[in-house]
A and B are shown apart, each in its own frame.
Chain A
Amino acid sequence: MILHHPLALIALTCAALSATILIGFLVRRPLLVGSTKLWLLLGLGVFPLGVATAGNAAGFEATKERKFCGSCHVMVPHASDSNDLKSTSLASRHARNNLFGEQNCYVCHADYGMFGTILTKLGGMRHVYEYVTRYRNVSLEAAKETIHLYKPYPNSNCMQCHSTNLELWMNVPDHKSSLAEVREGRVSCASAGCHGFAHPFTKPAASVSPASHRSPERAPHETRETP
């Protein structure tokens, strides 16, 4: 439940007011005079618009939560790993950081830029489509083996926080020697040779046979880099 969110409370209040008016109209069946029209304008227009506006905003906020991502069974291992205080995976370590916290899935996987939020939400719609059409009945073990990102995880997402410009970062010899590759995305921060994969069951691209898991509808640019 997201009832602690002020927008959700506004939406619920508007919904209650609207429902009261509409049920009152259905029960009493008054004549269509001026006052009835005014009440119906509130019940069918103003309050439902309030519900939609506040409800959408609260819904968008809810979609950023780790609980939301973990509500599909194939994402349970990812969410559980982030919740695990003893895990040393990149995802879990970032989840313990207050800047990421309960929204660590979204913060790390969101697209950035002017249309980043919209692109991320569209990507989320595709996740739902893939889940409903392909993964709904897949076992957890099978999902761990087959689930993957649509495209390689971009270093630019890491660089939202780790700018690669600070002296502390540059003092690490490996960073210094691979600066250009990291900035251009030719070397992934979340790879076995660097900081390790983000999740414990992430597989390197080369370790999975594309023929065995690639589905016909997958686009050619999609790789086996997993979440």
Chain B
Amino acid sequence: MRTTSYGRILRIACVLSLVGLGLMVWSLLDPTPMPVLVAMSVGQVFGTLSLLAFLGVVVADLRHAHLERAPLPSGPTSQDAR
């Protein structure tokens, strides 16, 4: 995952989550079979996907930061070669 795509993934996750939240709120405001079913299926899938996307970005970002901090492997210098 490229660091430049983190922002885009997070924005998509936010939109997915907002849609999921909207479906869940709809089922609370209009508790009839269809909204309740949609909220408990589609709404929760959207919410879960957005959370997974966020966790994926966090893990990738931490890994990237760890790799940046890690010292480069020390190879033979020019003096050693002499």
A residues near B (Cβ < 8 Å) are: 1-3, 8, 11-12, 15, 18-19, 22-23, 25-26, 29, 32, 37, 40-41, 43-45, 48, 51-52, 55-56, 58-59, 62-63, 65, 68, 71-72, 125, 127-128, 131
Q: Is the CB of A131 within 8 A of B33?
A: yes
Tally of contacts, chain A with chain B, CB under 8 A? 100
A1 to B27, CA, bound (A): 9
Contact B28 A44 (CB under 8 A): no
Known A-B contacts A32-B61, A44-B13, A45-B51; A62 and B31 likewise in contact (beta carbons under 8 Å): yes
B30 on interface, CB distance cutoff 8 Å: yes
Candidates A11, A26, A41, A43; contact of B28 at CB < 8 Å: A11
Select one of B7, B17, B31 contacting A48, CB under 8 A.
Answer: B17
Enumerate 24 A-B pairs (CB-CB under 8 Å) in ascending A order.
Answer: A1-B30, A12-B28, A15-B21, A15-B25, A18-B17, A22-B17, A26-B14, A26-B15, A32-B10, A41-B54, A43-B14, A43-B17, A44-B13, A48-B50, A51-B24, A52-B43, A52-B47, A59-B39, A59-B40, A62-B36, A63-B36, A65-B31, A68-B31, A68-B33
Which of A18, A23, A32, A55 is within 8 Å of B6, CB to CB? A32
Instruction: Compute how far the CA of A113 lies from the CA of B14 in the bound complex, rounded to whole angstroms.
Output: 42
Q: Does B58 contact A (CB under 8 A)?
A: yes
Q: Are A52 and B24 in contact (CB under 8 A)?
A: yes
How far, in angstroms, from A48 to B20 measured CA to CA in the complex? Answer: 9
* Contact across chains for A15 and B24 when beta carbons are under 8 A apart: yes
Assess the B31–A19 pair: CB atoms within 8 A: no
Instruction: Please classify the interface of chain B as helix (H, G, I), strand (E, B), loop, or mixed, using the class held by over half of its residues.
Output: helix
B14 touches A11 (CB 8 A): no
- Return chain A residues, CB-CB under 8 Å to B28: 1-3, 8, 11-12, 55, 58-59
A15 contact set on B, CB distance < 8 A: 21, 24-25
Chain A interface main SS type: helix
Q: Which residues of chain A are within 8 angstroms of B27 by Cβ–Cβ distance?
A: 55, 59
Q: Is B63 positioned at the interface, with any CB of A under 8 Å from its CB?
A: no
Nearest to B37 among chain A residues (CB) is A128
CA distance A29 to B25 in the complex (A): 25
Given pairs A1-B29, A26-B14, 4 additional interface contacts (CB within 8 A) = A3-B29, A15-B21, A22-B18, A51-B21
Complex CA gap A9/B37 in Å reads 20
B18 with A19: CB separation less than 8 A:
yes
